[in-house]
């Protein structure tokens, strides 16, 4: 079991790691989005130039293509907050019902960016999915940039206290138990920030509760062993 300050330091390191991973994901989405946008722009330009304004200057086809793609991008950005919205759960806290928001994880962001892999989609759905791929990649890149800023603004002290409790219990801990055992202030925004940390599991069946995934428990153990090994290295 990590001490309070050790858990805070572990969480800071964890958030830095997730921030770096978000930066890598952001770079990947930007590169893929630019490539897909250029390919789509060329396709639309050729279709518009040859099919609609063959005898007009190429600049008109260029402007028309740019306007069409800009409108699609704006519509995609407008719809994105609904498609990657926080999941809301009702939970009992201090004899009242509160709404707990859980953020979408990066797996959901990548699924949104690259499109659904379901095999039962119609050819129309597949075609529309391919045509909107560049816009979804760019929108997902923007979302990832915002997520990176959220990770860097997580309140370490209350989040570390909750993770330490979950690690100590080793099983599901209900929200009202967390509120009774820890003095973290308003739990609702803290839980929202906690949902940004990969490996924190939210259980909504019956009474709302939290636990830690095995990979997060293993990461805490590995971090502690690494720090102990560093202390034992002769100077």
What is the pLDDT at residue 165? Answer: 94
Q: How far apart are CA 69 and CA 57, in angstroms?
A: 19
- Mind listing the pLDDT tens digit for each residue in 35-54? 999 999 999 999 988 888 88
- The DSSP annotation for 182-193 comes to ---S-HHHHHHH
What is the pLDDT at residue 132? Answer: 86
Q: Is the pTM of this model over 0.85?
A: yes
Phi-psi region of 81 (alpha: psi -120 to 50; beta: other; left: phi over 0): alpha
- The DSSP letter of residue 204 is -
What is the pLDDT at residue 117? Answer: 61
Q: Which residues contact 216 (CB under 8 A, 6 or more apart)?
A: 197, 198, 199, 200
What is the pLDDT at residue 120? Answer: 64
- The DSSP annotation for 34-48 comes to HHHHHHHHHHHHHHH
Positions of the chain with pLDDT under 70: 117-121, 123, 233-235
- Mind listing the pLDDT tens digit for each residue in 140-161? 999 999 999 999 999 999 999 9
What is the pLDDT at residue 215? Answer: 93
**Residue 68 domain boundaries:** 4-232
Domain count, the chain: 1
What is the pLDDT at residue 235? Answer: 55
- The DSSP letter of residue 103 is P
Nearest to 31 by CA among 128, 112, 140: 140
């Amino acid at each position: 079991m990590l001490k309070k300050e050790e858990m805070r330091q572990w969480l800071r390191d964890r958030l830095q790691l997730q921030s770096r991973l978000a930066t890598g994901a952001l770079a990947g989405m930007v590169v893929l989005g630019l490539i897909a946008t250029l390919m789509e722009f060329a396709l639309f330009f050729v279709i518009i130039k040859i099919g609609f304004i063959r005898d007009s200057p190429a600049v008109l086809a260029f402007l028309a293509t740019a306007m069409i793609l800009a409108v699609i991008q704006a519509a995609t950005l407008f719809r994105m907050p609904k498609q990657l919205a926080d999941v809301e759960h009702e939970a009992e806290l201090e004899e009242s019902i509160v709404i707990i928001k859980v953020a979408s994880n990066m797996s959901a962001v990548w699924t949104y960016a690259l499109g659904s892999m379901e095999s039962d989609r119609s050819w129309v759905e597949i075609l529309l999915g391919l045509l909107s791929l560049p816009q979804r990649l760019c929108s997902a890149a923007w979302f990832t940039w915002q997520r990176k800023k959220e990770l860097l603004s997580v309140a370490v002290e209350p989040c570390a206290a909750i993770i330490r409790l979950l690690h100590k219990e080793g099983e599901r801990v209900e929200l009202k138990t967390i509120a009774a055992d820890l003095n973290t202030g308003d739990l609702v925004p803290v839980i929202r920030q906690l949902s940004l940390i990969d490996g924190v599991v939210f259980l909504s069946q019956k009474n709302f509760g939290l636990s830690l995934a095995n990979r997060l428990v293993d990461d805490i153990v590995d971090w502690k062993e690494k720090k102990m090994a560093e202390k034992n290295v002769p100077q």
